[in-house]
């Protein structure tokens, strides 16, 4: 307030004899500008995440091991949004089946092993058209033994964000629609006598995602089906959250469900033409994933 009053009196002082000793100076604007300049980002807007989890249990006749790993990288700027995700999972089970004779001694013993190794890599690129509309595409490459998929490649659309695009790093409520093709290369010949095929497919997805100082949370609902046969479809609802523990570390939990019975079979067949399972637990399905 004092500074403003002094500035207002300058015009009157200039008309008096004291004007000869009057000096008007300007503050250091360089320092003021430096205070409003954004801090330098050594990561150039990239955000990276690495997660690893696992478990093991067993007894005399049964042993089980599970391992899941995930790496993600994302970058959001005023005009572009880039996402990359890679995941790898391993599941191993060993079951020992014993038969006993009349005396209680082990007569026969058989050992069954089931080992599944799956991986998935996804790259998505989205270009902002307006403050809410975006156009982009994605490529998903995966290998999933349980679904009899030795290799799956798919390309995808358009999305609308209820919140302004400038808030995409903090919160999103997005509706996505995409149409493309899915190429399957199966590990074994399917019950339809297929070793590979390419099918048209589309999907619609609704996703809410938020990032706060305490961590992040997301909810996703997705419906997919083949354009060539609408009866072959799948619907999923997934949710998860990360709670920040301390710098660089967080606790993560995810839940999912709502998928109806799979409509597309891709179980393998043996040399006699009978359907067989590559693992001893249950038949293989391709599903719509």
Check pLDDT > 70 for residue 213: yes
Predicted local distance difference test score (pLDDT) of residue 72: 94
Check pLDDT > 90 for residue 19: no
The structure tokens listed for 103 are 């005396």
Check pLDDT > 90 for residue 175: yes
Predicted local distance difference test score (pLDDT) of residue 154: 62
- Structural domains present in the chain: 70-88+119-276 (2.40.160)
Report helix, strand or coil for 42.
coil
Predicted local distance difference test score (pLDDT) of residue 270: 43
Give yes or no for a contact between 185 and 195, defined as CB atoms under 8 angstroms apart.
yes
Average confidence score pLDDT of the chain: 79
| Residues in CB range of 288: below 8 A, 6 or more apart | 201, 224, 225, 226, 232, 233, 234, 262, 263, 264
Q: What is the pLDDT of residues 27-73, one digit of tens each?
A: 655 554 445 555 678 888 898 989 899 999 988 889 999 999 999 99
CA distance linking residue 168 with residue 166, whole number of Å = 6
Q: Rounded to two decimals, what is the model's pTM? A: 0.67
Which residue, among 116, 118, 120, has the nearest Cα to 65 in the 3D structure? Answer: 116
CA distance linking residue 238 with residue 206, whole number of Å = 11
Partners of 222 in the beta sheet? 205, 236
Give yes or no for a contact between 200 and 183, defined as CB atoms under 8 angstroms apart.
no
Q: Name the least confident of 185-189, 237-241, 247-251.
A: 247-251
Give yes or no for a contact between 122 and 140, defined as CB atoms under 8 angstroms apart.
yes
Give the pLDDT mean for 150-165: 77
State the pLDDT confidence band at 12, using cuts at 50, 70 and 90: low
Identify the residue with better confidence: 272 or 132.
132
Identify the residue with better confidence: 72 or 262.
72
Give yes or no for a contact between 26 and 3, defined as CB atoms under 8 angstroms apart.
no
Which residue, among 153, 198, 184, 186, has the nearest Cα to 268 in the 3D structure? Answer: 186
Q: What is the pLDDT of residues 57-115, one digit of tens each?
A: 988 889 999 999 999 999 988 888 899 999 999 999 999 998 888 888 888 989 999 88
CA distance linking residue 287 with residue 145, whole number of Å = 12
For the chain, give the longest Cα–Cα distance. 126
Identify the residue with better confidence: 20 or 243.
243
Give the pLDDT mean for 242-250: 80
Identify the residue with better confidence: 188 or 20.
188
Check pLDDT > 70 for residue 172: yes
């Amino acid at each position: 307030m004092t500074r403003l009053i002094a500035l207002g009196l300058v015009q009157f002082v200039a008309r008096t004899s004291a004007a000869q000793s009057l000096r008007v100076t300007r503050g250091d604007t360089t320092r003021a500008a430096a205070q409003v300049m954004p801090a330098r980002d050594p990561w150039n807007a990239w955000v990276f995440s690495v997660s690893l989890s696992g478990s093991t249990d067993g007894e005399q006749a049964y042993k089980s091991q599970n391992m899941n790993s995930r790496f993600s990288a994302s970058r959001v700027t005023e005009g572009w949004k880039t996402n990359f995700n890679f995941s790898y999972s391993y599941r191993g089970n060993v079951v020992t089946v014993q038969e006993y004779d009349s005396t209680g001694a082990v007569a026969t013993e058989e050992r069954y092993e089931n080992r599944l190794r799956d991986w998935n890599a996804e790259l998505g690129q989205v270009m902002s058209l307006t403050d809410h509309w975006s156009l982009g595409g994605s490529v998903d490459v995966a290998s999933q033994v349980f679904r009899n998929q030795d290799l799956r490649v798919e390309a995808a659309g358009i999305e609308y964000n209820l919140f302004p695009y400038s808030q995409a790093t903090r919160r999103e409520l997005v509706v996505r629609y995409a149409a493309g093709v899915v190429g399957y290369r199966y590990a074994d010949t399917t019950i339809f006598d297929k070793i590979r095929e390419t099918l048209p497919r589309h999907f619609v997805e609704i996703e809410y995602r938020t990032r706060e100082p305490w961590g992040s949370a997301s909810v996703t609902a997705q419906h997919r089906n083949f354009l060539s046969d609408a009866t072959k479809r799948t619907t999923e609802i997934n949710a998860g959250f990360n709670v920040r523990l301390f710098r660089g570390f967080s606790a993560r939990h995810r839940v999912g469900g709502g998928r109806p019975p799979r409509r597309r079979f891709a179980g393998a067949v043996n040399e006699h033409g009978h359907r067989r399972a590559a693992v001893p637990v249950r038949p293989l399905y391709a599903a719509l994933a």
